[in-house]
Amino acid sequence: MWRRLFPEERTPATATQPKERVVVREKIVEKRVEVPVTTPPPSVPSGPPPGPRGDFTAMFSGIGVKTKLITVDGATATEERALPEAYTAEITVRIHLPKPASTMEQMRSLNPQIGNLLPDLEPMIQKGKVSGLYQHLYKVKKESLENNLERLDRALTRHNFFDLDTVLELTHPVSKRKVLLMQADMDVVSDGSDGDRMPVFDEAILKSAFFQPSTSYGWPKTTTKVNPVIPRLESEMTESKERLKSARLSKVEKDTLTSRVAQLPGVISDLQRRSYLIGQEDPFVVIPMSFRNYRGSKDWLPQIGDFVVVIYKDKLLPAVVGDYGPTIKVGEASLRIAREIDPTASPYKRPVNDLQVSYLFFPNTADAVRKVPDYAAWRARCESLLKDIGVANASDELHTWEDRLTPTPAVTTTVTNPSGTPDSGAGEPDSPQPAKDSTSSGTGTGTETTTDTGAGASPK
């Protein structure tokens, strides 16, 4: 049964519920927004930058390089792009032309022992003069630089430009013997080949970058032995002909191979007929090809075959002028000479980097006929020439070259058997004895000497 409640009997809705408390808290939120700022481009300078900016470096050739950027106001890019002069580099090469050494003091500063080795050098220098060859050689060097101003990577290196300290024309006051004294450094040449004396060649030298199988000093072959360079050249010719069949060759490659294939038959034919000095065995020096164009006096001008003495510190090394070399370089000797000075020398390593090598050329002394090198004869000739210029003890001071190519003569021992009959060899009595060489002759002292009938140099 329902009963109506009166208002005073009703319970309020909030009577049993807690009142809500509203708490207001303030929270500050910081929001950062990064907006990129565009930096305005730098203004175009109205002239050269304040103060010169110099970059100094060195090229591989040893030429010092200074650079400086200069800008000028121009027209629009469209217009300037069409102007060759709008983007240029001006190159000025500044070279100090050296002054030749001409006094004994200067020579002693390069080799303190030279006065002791050559007692009469000082009076000879006092009466001598700088050769025109000195100016001639530096003129050739200067012209070479002028021809390569647009390709400085091909320019003569600093080392090779300053490779000559002096060239002096000297005359001994008593004997009147003429001497050309050249003061330079020493590069190395390994050129030359001779199948008669050296049928097996050093493979490393054959493969060296600048090897040439011949020298200016040569003579007719005396045997039928094959020059060891010929098989390599024949293989090169065959391979080059095969490569020419390729359609992938560039024009430059094709022209180079065609020229080489045309050249090789002549080189091979020459090596079949002639022999040459051997850089690793024979003592010889190289003179610049530009000597041939010298228009001055020929009285002191070295020629192929002339005798020369190479001086380094206390060494006096006998040699001959054996080859012509690059027109712009001075001071070059065979690998045999180089290794006598520095055993570690090679076609790629100089024995001497400084201008401390003296080359004493004796002009007009070459033998009338070029033939197989005879080191003993060369030494005797150089000894005589040194005595002509006052070196009284030349026989003691001059180096003796060992001939490493000529076989040592066979020597047998004479043994006396119990019966008193001389018996050659030490075999059993009934053993057959080797026949003696027809060129051998007994000496009566228990030895047998063999005369060399080949083309080798005389053994020492």
What single letter denotes the amino acid at residue 251? K
| Structural domain spans, the chain | 218-276, 406-460
CA-closest candidate to residue 95, choices 176, 152, 42, 39: 152
Q: Token pair of 251, please?
A: 């024009």
- 250-301 tens-digit pLDDT: 999 999 999 999 999 999 999 999 999 999 999 999 999 999 989 888 899 9
Identify the band that residue 35 occupies on the pLDDT scale cut at 50, 70 and 90: low
pLDDT at residue 151, rounded to an integer: 79
For residue 83, give Cα distances in angstroms to 47, 52, 76, 78.
20, 26, 11, 9
pLDDT at residue 174, rounded to an integer: 97
Q: Is residue 131 within 8 Å of 169, Cβ to Cβ?
A: yes
Instruction: Provide the 10 A C-beta neighbour count for residue 409.
Output: 15
The dihedral region occupied by 67, where left means phi > 0, alpha psi between -120 and 50, and beta the remainder, is beta
pLDDT at residue 66, rounded to an integer: 80
- 69-87 tens-digit pLDDT: 999 999 999 999 999 999 9
CA-closest candidate to residue 293, choices 327, 253, 248: 327
Between 36 and 288, where is the model more confident? 288
Q: What is the dihedral of CA 132, 137, 139, 141, to 10 degrees?
A: -170
- 145-200 tens-digit pLDDT: 888 887 777 788 889 999 999 999 999 999 999 999 999 999 999 999 999 999 88
- 123-152 tens-digit pLDDT: 999 999 999 999 999 999 999 988 888 777
Mean pLDDT of 382-408: 93
pLDDT at residue 429, rounded to an integer: 38
pLDDT at residue 204, rounded to an integer: 86
- CA-to-CA distance for 95 and 448, rounded, in angstroms? 66
- CA-to-CA distance for 294 and 327, rounded, in angstroms? 11
- CA-to-CA distance for 43 and 58, rounded, in angstroms? 33
Count how many residues are written for the chain. Answer: 460
Instruction: Provide the 10 A C-beta neighbour count for residue 173.
Output: 14
Q: Angle 251-273/229-243 helices, nearest 10 degrees?
A: 150
